[in-house]
Amino acid sequence: MDKVDNILAQWQAERPDLDTTPMGPIGRLKRCAALMQPKLDKVFAEFELSYWEFDVLATLKRSGAPYCLAPTTLFSTLMVTSGTMTHRMNQLEKRGLIERLANPEDARSKLVRLTAEGAALADRAVEAHLQNERHIISELSPEQLQQIDDNLRTLLAVLEEH
């Protein structure tokens, strides 16, 4: 029994007429995310990064050299609004982790590129992040991890379809 089972039992007692089946997996996903985020944030804090800062740096780094993207590509990948992205870019630029360059294909926009410092920080942080993720899931067998991953892939496909 986990905390979600307790919630489901309470609903069953209070409203036995309801089919609470969706609450199980969705509640567990939400609870897993809530429990995992502080564990992830702890490692990012070691690099003086927030989750979103790591996400921006990692997105630019994994895009490949020259680690440069158009803001629209960047904010659509990160699933944030353009206003949110502008504020975040200003903060990262002040820290010297990114720079904005003229876009030769669109004079109205600037490209976002990792600085050498930002690329080095992204490399160090992603190594620690992966080590942390390995630790978080270390009690699960390879078979369990594969099953979870396959099921989440299926769920994600359904959610992205809508």
Domain that holds residue 139: 34-42+49-161
CA distance 146 to 141: 9
pTM score, whole prediction = 0.87
Domain count, the chain: 1
Q: Could you tell me if residue 28 is inside a domain?
A: no
CA distance 13 to 89: 50
What CATH number is given to the structural domain containing 106?
1.10.10.10
**DSSP at 111:** E
Amino acid identity of residue 82, one-letter, is S
Q: Could you tell me if residue 24 is inside a domain?
A: no
Q: Could you tell me if residue 29 is inside a domain?
A: no
List, in sequence order, every beta strand (DSSP E) within 4-162: 68-69, 98-102, 110-114
Q: What does the pLDDT look like over 54-98, one tens digit per residue?
A: 999 999 999 999 999 988 888 778 777 767 778 888 999 999 999
Q: What does the pLDDT look like over 91-141, one tens digit per residue?
A: 999 999 999 999 888 888 889 999 999 999 999 999 999 999 999 999 999
Q: Could you tell me if residue 8 is inside a domain?
A: no
Q: Could you tell me if residue 11 is inside a domain?
A: no
Q: For residues 135 and 42, is the Cβ–Cβ distance under 8 A?
A: no
Q: Could you tell me if residue 2 is inside a domain?
A: no
Q: Could you tell me if residue 93 is inside a domain?
A: yes
Burial (CB < 10 A; 0-12, 13-18, 19+), residue 74, is buried
Q: What does the pLDDT look like over 9-54, one tens digit per residue?
A: 999 999 999 999 999 999 999 999 999 999 999 999 999 999 999 9
